[in-house]
Amino acid sequence: MRLFVGLGNPGAKYAGNRHNIGFMAVDRIAADHGFSPWRKGFHGLVSEGRLGLEKVLLLKPETFMNLSGQSVQAAVSFHKLALNEVTVFHDELDLSPGRIKAKMGGGHAGHNGLRSIHAHLGEAYGRVRLGIGHPGHKDAVAAYVLHDFSKADADWLEPLLAGISDGAVALAGGDAARFLTLVALRTTPPKAKPPEKAAPPATAAPERPAEPGADDAARTPLQKLMDRFR
């Protein structure tokens, strides 16, 4: 079994925030892959389904971001999961908008949701880092992450979420490289090939003039005689 955790803050007030891109990612997986309706569980909302051969539990903690570890620990303990069976989707300030990276283990880089999970479970779990860009100054970070995505952000956000859904089966199967490849096919589609140059029109070879007497053998004696009087 796999546990996919999306990080965010509960309630309509926060639904469109940059900080809630983790919620958006697991919502998209649930919708596209026929998961069960969301229900209360483990201090959050859970949805169950299958991705390929793997049974997967999706979790959106409702403890607010800073206490996400309480919810994740409850799910991990109940299902007796190893940390390498847990993947957390979260916003990443250090990646430009629309970029994505996957990793296993490592630090929390100051992310309060990850910090809470570290405190409850340690750091040896997987995470999918979803780039939202940086406001440019650390004092602006709080307001930036708690602000809604702009309309212009939809140009990269929608392909990113679609790619995450496309690659979810690979991620559940442990193939992070293929997961990232399938995301990239949505976010950076292959460049169109330039049109091939049309071949120049074929030109007919000039007709060679008939050699004198070339068809004399085919003419009758009478025709040859008449030619003398023309």
Instruction: Tell me the one-letter amino acid at 107.
Output: G
Spatial separation of the C-alpha atoms in residues 55 and 65, rounded to whole Å: 26
List pLDDT tens digits, range 174-225: 999 999 999 999 998 666 666 777 666 666 555 555 555 555 556 666 666 6
pLDDT category of residue 92 using cuts at 50, 70 and 90: very high
What local confidence, expressed as pLDDT, does residue 230 receive?
Answer: 61
Q: Where does the pLDDT of residue 99 fall: very low under 50, low under 70, confident under 90, or very high at 90 and above?
A: very high
Give domain status of residue 176, yes or no: yes
Residues 6+ apart with CB under 8 A from 171: 4, 51, 87, 102, 128, 179
Is 80 inside a domain boundary?
Answer: yes
In a domain, 215, yes or no: no
Q: CA–CA separation, 150 vs 113, rounded Å?
A: 23
Helix H or strand E segment including 158: helix 154-172
Q: What is the dihedral of CA 43, 45, 49, 54, to 10 degrees?
A: -40
Rounded to two decimals, what is the model's pTM? 0.82
Kindly name the residue from 19, 33, 90, 111 that is annotated as catalytic. Answer: 19
Of the candidates 38, 44, 48, the residue with the CA atom closest to the CA atom of residue 67 = 44
What are the C-alpha distances in Å from 200 to residues 195, 203, 230?
15, 9, 45
**Residue 50: inside a domain, yes or no?**
yes
Indicate which CATH number applies to the domain containing 157. 3.40.50.1470
The strand pairing partners of 112, in sequence order, are: none
pLDDT, position 219 = 66
Q: What is the pLDDT of residues 138-174, one digit of tens each?
A: 899 999 999 999 999 999 999 999 999 999 999 999 9
Verify whether residue 118 is a known catalytic residue: no
Map tokens 């919810």 to a residue: 71
Residue 224 is predicted with a pLDDT of 63
Q: Considering the domain boundaries, does residue 58 fall inside one?
A: yes
Range of the domain at 54: 2-187
Domain count, the chain: 1
Residue 201 lies in a domain: no
Which pLDDT score is estimated for 132?
A: 96
Residue 25 is assigned to a structural domain of this protein:
yes
What mean pLDDT value characterizes the chain? 90
Quickly count: other Cβ atoms within 10 Å of residue 172's Cβ: 24
Residue 195 lies in a domain: no
Are 26 and 56 in contact, with CB atoms under 8 Å apart? Answer: no
